[in-house]
Amino acid sequence: MSQATTGANSRASNAGQDPPPSKDLRGLMPYLRRYTGSIIFGLFMVVVMGIVGNVLPLAVGIMTDTLSGSQAPFEHSRAGSTLAALPHLSTLSRAIPFYAPNSRRTLGIYCLIVVLCVAIKGLLSFSARWTLIGVSRDIEYDIRSDLLKRLLALEPEFYVRNRTGELMSRATNDLNAVRMVLGPGIMYSATTLITMIMAILVMVTLSPSLTLWVLLPAPIVAVAVWYFGKTIHELYETIQAALATLTARVQENLSGVRIIRAYAQEQAEMRTFDEPNREYVSRNIRLIRTWSMFMPSLQALVGTSFLIVLWQGGHQLLRGEISLGALIAFNGYLTVLVWPMIALGWVTNIFQRGAASMGRLNFILTAKPSIDDRAATLPKDSSPRGEIELRNLTFAYPTTLSGANGSNGAGKSIGSGPHAVLSDINLKIPAGSTLAIVGPTGCGKTTLAALVARLWEAPKGTVLVDGHSIQDWPLEALRRSIGYVPQDTYLFSETVGGNIAFGLPDYNPERCREAAEIASLHGDIADFPAGYETAVGERGITLSGGQKQRTAIARAIVRDPRILILDDALSSVDTQTEEKILSGLRGVMGGRTTILISHRTSTVENADQIVVLREGRIIERGTHDQLLERGGYYADLYQKQLLEEELEKA
Q: Residue 525's domain is classified under what CATH number?
A: 3.40.50.300
pLDDT of residue 611: 93
Q: Is the pLDDT of residue 2 over 60?
A: no
Distances (CA, A) of 599 to 448, 567, 584, 603: 15, 10, 20, 8
pLDDT of residue 610: 93
pLDDT of residue 43: 92
Strand pairing partners for 388? 429, 465
**By the 8 A CB rule, do 53 and 339 touch?**
no
Q: Is the pLDDT of residue 40 over 90?
A: yes
Judged on CB neighbours under 10 Å (0-12, 13-18, 19+), 65 is buried
Nearest to residue 143, comparing CAs of 170, 113, 111?
Answer: 170
Longest alpha-carbon distance in the chain: 126
Q: Is the pLDDT of residue 162 over 80?
A: yes
Distances (CA, A) of 212 to 208, 323, 327: 6, 18, 15
- 553 and 574 in a common domain: no
Q: Is the pLDDT of residue 572 over 80?
A: no
Show which of 514, 541, 560 is a domain's final residue: 560
| Residue 214 included in any domain | yes
Q: Is the pLDDT of residue 14 over 50?
A: no
More confident of the two residues 88 and 444 = 444
- pLDDT category of residue 84 using cuts at 50, 70 and 90: very low
More confident of the two residues 158 and 401 = 158
pLDDT of residue 413: 40
Please tell me the least confidently modeled range out of 375-389, 537-551, 625-639: 537-551
Q: Is 374 helix (H, G, I), strand (E, B) or coil?
A: coil
pLDDT of residue 169: 81
Strand pairing partners for 483? 564
- 258 and 166 in a common domain: yes
Answer positive or negative: Cα dihedral of 581, 583, 588, 594.
Answer: positive
Owning domain of residue 213: 3-365
- 230 and 271 in a common domain: yes
How many domains are there within the chain? 3
Please tell me the least confidently modeled range out of 186-190, 295-299, 309-313, 480-484: 295-299
Cα–Cα distance, 637 to 592 (Å, whole number): 27
CATH number at residue 96: 1.20.1560.10
Edge-to-edge order in the sheet of strand 422-429:
422-429, 388-395, 463-465, 468-469
- 294 and 416 in a common domain: no
Q: Which DSSP string corresponds to 327-346? A: HHHHHHHHHHHHHHHHHHHH
* pLDDT, average across residues 514-530: 87
pLDDT of residue 91: 67
* pLDDT, average across residues 391-410: 62
- 207 and 118 in a common domain: yes
The percent of residues above 70 in pLDDT, for the chain, comes to 90
| CA torsion, ordered 562, 455, 245, 11, to nearest 10 deg | -150
Q: Is the pLDDT of residue 16 over 70?
A: no
* pLDDT, average across residues 514-538: 87
- 549 and 566 in a common domain: no
Distances (CA, A) of 510 to 107, 148, 198, 496, 504: 82, 32, 71, 14, 12
- pLDDT category of residue 402 using cuts at 50, 70 and 90: very low
| Residue 73 included in any domain | yes
- 506 and 458 in a common domain: no
- 306 and 205 in a common domain: yes
- 178 and 63 in a common domain: yes
**By the 8 A CB rule, do 596 and 436 touch?**
yes
For helices 324-365 and 104-153, give the axis angle rounded to 10 degrees: 10
Q: Is the pLDDT of residue 117 over 80?
A: yes
**By the 8 A CB rule, do 457 and 370 touch?**
yes
pLDDT of residue 426: 93
Q: Is 464 helix (H, G, I), strand (E, B) or coil?
A: strand
The percent of residues above 90 in pLDDT, for the chain, comes to 17
